[in-house]
Amino acid sequence: MFNAWSRRDRPPEAGTAAGLEGFAVDKTFLSSLKGILLETELALTFIIFICFTASISAYMAAALLEFFITLAFLFLYATQYYQRFDRLNWPCLDFLRCVSAIIIFLVVSFAAVTSRDGAAIAAFVFGIILVSVFAYDAFKIYRTELVPRAAQGDQQ
């Protein structure tokens, strides 16, 4: 059976797009808890971006940046492409992504609600919901990925 390294060295078969055979989407991941959390984070971040665009354009960069970061993580996890970068600690990166998004959206949401604009208030409400989703995602990553690795390192 060919692994990822030998597949990269041989030419693509006839009928397949060159270089795209490694980007098959794992549909079971998209319906798993982690996939649903990432999809929810992506949708809420896009809604907040639209709300900030309609009201306070100064805060839309934070929502747009988090949208692209979450989209990149969803792409890497759904295609299993992150496994090619085995030197990176993906659970730690994902945990840091969630924690930084919690801090950013708390600050931006509370700053936006002071304008008393309708779209800014909607962005505040969706921001608080998004912060709770990011907090749950960070909690799940911590409980399932980071704590067992630390306990495993102590036993060796």
The per-residue pLDDT for 20 is 52
The length of the chain, given as a count of residues = 156
Least confident stretch, 19-28, 60-69, 89-98, 135-144: 19-28
Of the candidates 99, 105, 101, the one whose C-alpha atom is nearest the C-alpha of residue 51 is 105
- Please determine, for residue 57, whether its predicted confidence score (pLDDT) is greater than 90: no
C-alpha count within 13 angstroms, C-beta hemisphere, residue 122: 16
pLDDT in tens, 72-129: 999 998 888 888 888 888 888 999 999 999 999 999 999 888 888 888 899 899 999 9
- With a CB cutoff of 8 Å and minimum separation 6, the contacts of 12 are 18, 19, 21
| For range 51-61, the mean pLDDT | 85
Of the candidates 77, 127, 65, 71, the one whose C-alpha atom is nearest the C-alpha of residue 102 is 127
Tokens of 94: 């994902």
Report the percentage of the chain scoring pLDDT > 90.
Answer: 40
| Torsion on CA atoms 99, 135, 103, 53, rounded to nearest 10 | 120
